[in-house]
Amino acid sequence: MTETTIKVRESGPYLVRGPLTLTDADGNVYAAAGENVALCRCGGSATKPFCDGSHRSNGFHATERAPVAE
């Protein structure tokens, strides 16, 4: 069984790797080719919920980091 992981890219999309089913608010399934998907988090993509690279030119900047356990 393959694990699904989500990586937060600095000032970029969420990269989802592994098996997934992506549905809209009505439960309709998006066609996602392959097991690697980039999801928009800048809000500027013309192909939402998928990333189209708009974050590179629309001024989106984010540097969130997970808390480090001590």
Higher pLDDT, 70 or 23: 23
* 32 found inside a domain: yes
Average pLDDT of the chain to the nearest whole number: 92
Residues 46-68 pLDDT 10s: 999 999 999 999 999 998 899 99
pTM for the model stands at: 0.87
CATH number at residue 39: 3.40.5.90
Amino acid at 9: R
pLDDT tens per residue across span 6-17: 999 999 999 999
Mean pLDDT computed over 20-34:
89
Contacts of 65 (CB under 8 A, 6+ apart): none
Do the Cβ atoms of 57 and 47 come closer than 8 Å?
no
Number of domains in the chain: 1
